Structure 1
Amino acid sequence: MASTEGLVPITRAFLASYYDKYPFPPLSDDVSRLYSDMASLIQLLALQSPPSQGFRSHYITVEPREPPHKIDENMWKNREQMEEILFLLQPSRWPVQLREDDAELSSTLRHVKDNFDKALTAMISFQTKNSERIFSTVMTYMPQDFRGTLIRQQKERSERNRQAEVDALVSSGGTIRDTYALLWKQQMERRRQLAQLGSATGVYKTLLKYLVGVPQVLLDFIRQINDDDGPMEEQRERYGPHLYNLTKMVTAIRVSLTLLWERYDTFKLNKNQMNLLSEAVIVYTSEFERFITFISDVFANSPFFISADTAGTLGSRENEEYKEIIVQAGRTYEVHG
């Protein structure tokens, strides 16, 4: 169990100084240009004839909204849109006339699919590694005996149950959108459970009773890390706008493909429009992969805790003392904020 003596949770002020060392090279100007061009294409497609009722409800509820504020929610939104696009790009989902008569567009779409396959693989890898890194880091500050083993087993059991819930939804005919709504709900459940543990409320009072040696600084960290104005808000302000633009762009690509499929019998893409679609996909996937590679490095090097002296120097939590608190077996410890 790593020592936490003299440490405090990272603060927003600390992350601000830390992120100063990691400025994100701005997205290519092509992102905004191509997003604008894709928005114009969507308007053109929408004017051809009214979309089907099933598509209209999906279009209205997705396209006009601004991207979510949270970084991880945007990641899930990008992943969802990628899966929607890959679903549309399955040859069996293509309009019949496209499969039979349009060799040029068929070739373009196969290249589009290859790009999104690669981007989705990178996205899944990023999320998996980031989740494993966070859990592994937290566990270094937990008791390294049978209780740590129990925590790992409980996590594995919970994740199996969540996966079973997703599998059941898919088996019952749930859509990609339904699946990602469930995945985000599960993510928020994980976050609430951490907050409850950090605040020692509800069932987690009992959990604390048996977790001998849980350091108070770790409880503070998991309680405050996702506060609306907590440390992660600095992350959202620094890097969020870049990701928001990528979320908007991939949504535009998905909407344009859906509209095109709906209207393929009355509207054909000309050469310039095919080039626009191809370029938008190439730019989006390359910029998205660049962003997650960058943010993965930032996350990997970002500490969970800093010294109290450093926090004081940054003007955060001044004159506040921290020490490791040992929770004795058989006793409960009430946390007061």
Structure 2
Amino acid sequence: MASTAGLVPITRAFLAKFYDNYPYTPACSDLASLTASLRDQYMQIEAKILSDSEKDGADIISSLEFAPPHKIDENFWKNREQIEEILDLLEDSKRPASQNLPACQSQYAEISLTLKSLLKEIEDYQLRSSEKVFSMVMTYMPQDFRGTLIRQQRERSEKRRQQEVDALMNNGGSIHEKFILLWQQQMDRRRQLAQLGAASGVYKTIVKYLVGVPQVLLDFVRQINDHNGPMEEQRERYGPFLHQITSLSVSIRIFLLMWWKLSDDSSLCTDEFFPLLDRAVKSYVTECRHFLNFLGEVFEKSPFLISAEEAGAVEGVEEAEDFKETVIANGKAHEVILSVDCAGSLVAWDFRLTSGKDVGFMVEYIDTGGGKVAMLPYQRYESNQGNFYSPSVGSYKLTWDNTYSTFMKKSLRYKVDAIPPVIESVPDVTKTEED
């Protein structure tokens, strides 16, 4: 467990100065003009479709156009969604006959391959960013069962989320429905991070009653994603560049969709359509990769915790302690009984002597008939941390034994608790949460 002495969470003011060292310079200067050109073309297609008495063109465009979201990570999810929609449109079965000729197939195959590669790069970037934050949190977390419990909670949550996505798609869910669910899951991750910082929700008992978790760490995870928190500086500083990338991805998708709706004998000249598409995709991929590499470098160098002096703070940071204390007289024992109402609960303890050489310690399960089963055999310790998952409901007795001592009393500091297994709610995929 790394020390957090003298550290405080990053502040928006600190990040503003830090980002001054990393100005963003776009790799391509034609994103806005390409977006406008694509829009001009698909609006012309809309007019042509309407003139041919097909009335659904305008509805399609209005339903697919949107202003890029404010948050950086939501833009990445939107880009992934648009790329998957574009790849779907580029499938042989989706292209019109005029675009399925042998000469066209290799061109579209190359575009698809490039976009698939970019899609993987965005996914990898998101995973690396998430893992960096989690790894930092775990670096400052006590390296015992408490850290293990949080890792297990995270693994269970991610497994459950993947099962939700698989179930949706196996039941015929659309790409758009999948990304609605994925964004809801991302917001759920944020809520869990905030719960850890606020010692609430599924983490309430873990943090509040058992853990000497540094308060500075809890403050960091609670505030990092606040609307006006430190990351707002990143959104305002670099967001506008990403918004241009997102807008171009939307225009590419709508352009393809409207192009495919034209009949092959349409009088509208389409000779320039593929060159425009090719230029737009190349610029989009180049700029998106450039932005990913840039932001990844900045994120890698950006600290999460800084000194109080750097943050302009003077108040010290203290670790929260919640141990109980007792004195065990010579010839006596101290007992604590934990009632467990749900099998699979985590029975945990953490103790040390502040005076005395050692103390006997054991944990027993007591069934409803009064029978006892040793869960942790008797042994003498100066200090000990441990845990196990309860096999059954009932009472678990923790005993600190000093009956063997004729003259010496023992001073004991300890924490114990029984943490019920986490039962996670399944999000309603029919609802969305506003940014």
The verdict on a shared fold, with TM-score over 0.5 as the criterion, is yes
**Is 1:165 aligned to residue 164 of structure 2?**
yes
**Aligned equivalents of 1:157, 1:184: Cα separation in 2:** 18
**Aligned equivalents of 2:4, 2:62: Cα separation in 1:** 50
**Aligned equivalents of 1:54, 1:303: Cα separation in 2:** 51
Q: Look up the SS of the partner of 2:272 in the other structure.
A: helix
- TM-fit CA distance, 1:85: 0.6
In the alignment, structure 2 segments of 5+ residues that lack a partner are 324-414, 418-435
Equivalent residue, structure 2, for 1:298: 298
Q: Look up the SS of the partner of 1:271 in the other structure.
A: coil
Equivalent residue, structure 2, for 1:320: 315
Q: Look up the SS of the partner of 2:93 in the other structure.
A: helix
Aligned pair in 2 of structure 1 residues 59, 43: CA closer, same or farther (>3 Å)? Answer: closer
Equivalent residue, structure 1, for 2:227: 228
Equivalent residue, structure 1, for 2:311: 311
Equivalent positions of 1:45-194 (< 5 A) are 45-50=45-50, 59-63=61-65, 65-99=66-100, 102-194=101-193
- TM-fit CA distance, 1:322: 1.9
Q: Percent identity?
A: 50
Equivalent residue, structure 2, for 1:16: 16
* Alpha carbons 1:52, 1:262 under 8 Å: kept: no
* Alpha carbons 1:209, 1:330 under 8 Å: kept: no
* Alpha carbons 1:196, 1:204 under 8 Å: kept: yes
Aligned pair in 2 of structure 1 residues 52, 204: CA closer, same or farther (>3 Å)? Answer: farther
**Aligned equivalents of 1:109, 1:71: Cα separation in 2:** 30
**Aligned equivalents of 2:27, 2:269: Cα separation in 1:** 27
Q: Look up the SS of the partner of 2:70 in the other structure.
A: coil
Equivalent residue, structure 1, for 2:31: 31
User: Residues 72-94 of structure 1, C-alpha deviation per residue, up to 9 Å, x if partnerless?
Assistant: 00000001100111111111222
Aligned pair in 2 of structure 1 residues 57, 152: CA closer, same or farther (>3 Å)? Answer: farther
Would you identify which runs of 4 or more consecutive aligned residues in structure 1 move more than 6 Å?
51-55
Equivalent residue, structure 1, for 2:43: 43
Equivalent positions of 1:220-259 (< 5 A) are 220-259=219-258
The code of the aligned residue for 1:84 comes to: E
* Alpha carbons 2:210, 2:416 under 8 Å: kept: no
* Alpha carbons 1:208, 1:327 under 8 Å: kept: no
**Aligned equivalents of 1:54, 1:188: Cα separation in 2:** 34
- TM-fit CA distance, 1:61: 2.8
Aligned pair in 2 of structure 1 residues 109, 269: CA closer, same or farther (>3 Å)? Answer: farther
**Aligned equivalents of 2:292, 2:158: Cα separation in 1:** 24
- TM-fit CA distance, 1:154: 1.5
* Alpha carbons 2:8, 2:306 under 8 Å: kept: yes
Equivalent positions of 1:267-306 (< 5 A) are 267=266, 270-306=270-306
**Aligned equivalents of 1:192, 1:134: Cα separation in 2:** 14
- TM-fit CA distance, 1:147: 1.9
User: Residues 142-187 of structure 1, C-alpha deviation per residue, up to 9 Å, x if partnerless?
Assistant: 1111221221111111100000000000000000000000000000
- TM-fit CA distance, 1:132: 1.4
**Aligned equivalents of 2:228, 2:234: Cα separation in 1:** 11
User: Residues 208-262 of structure 1, C-alpha deviation per residue, up to 9 Å, x if partnerless?
Assistant: 1354221100111111111111101000011100000000000000011111112
The code of the aligned residue for 2:203 comes to: Y
**Aligned equivalents of 2:298, 2:54: Cα separation in 1:** 44
Aligned pair in 2 of structure 1 residues 54, 213: CA closer, same or farther (>3 Å)? Answer: farther
- TM-fit CA distance, 1:202: 4.0
The code of the aligned residue for 2:84 comes to: E
Q: Comparing 258-267 with 141-150, which one deviates more in the overlay?
A: 258-267
CA RMSD of aligned residues (A): 2.1
Aligned pair in 2 of structure 1 residues 159, 52: CA closer, same or farther (>3 Å)? Answer: farther
The code of the aligned residue for 1:77 comes to: K
The code of the aligned residue for 2:25 comes to: P
**Aligned equivalents of 2:127, 2:256: Cα separation in 1:** 29
The code of the aligned residue for 1:307 comes to: S
Equivalent residue, structure 1, for 2:205: 206
* Alpha carbons 1:194, 1:223 under 8 Å: kept: yes
The count of residues paired between Structure 1 and Structure 2 equals: 323
**Aligned equivalents of 1:58, 1:174: Cα separation in 2:** 19
More helix by share: 1
User: Residues 74-124 of structure 1, C-alpha deviation per residue, up to 9 Å, x if partnerless?
Assistant: 00000110011111111122223432xx44444432222122112112111
**Aligned equivalents of 1:73, 1:292: Cα separation in 2:** 14
Aligned pair in 2 of structure 1 residues 128, 55: CA closer, same or farther (>3 Å)? Answer: farther
Q: Look up the SS of the partner of 2:30 in the other structure.
A: helix
**Aligned equivalents of 2:88, 2:106: Cα separation in 1:** 17
**Aligned equivalents of 1:286, 1:252: Cα separation in 2:** 16
More strand by share: 2
The code of the aligned residue for 2:69 comes to: P
**Aligned equivalents of 2:49, 2:80: Cα separation in 1:** 29
- TM-fit CA distance, 1:326: 3.3
**Aligned equivalents of 1:294, 1:172: Cα separation in 2:** 39
TM-score normalised to structure 2 length: 0.70
User: Residues 286-319 of structure 1, C-alpha deviation per residue, up to 9 Å, x if partnerless?
Assistant: 110111011111111111100001111xxxxx44
Structure 1 or 2, whichever has the larger Rg, is 2
- TM-fit CA distance, 1:42: 1.4
Q: Which has the higher contact order (CA 8 A, sep 6+)?
A: 1
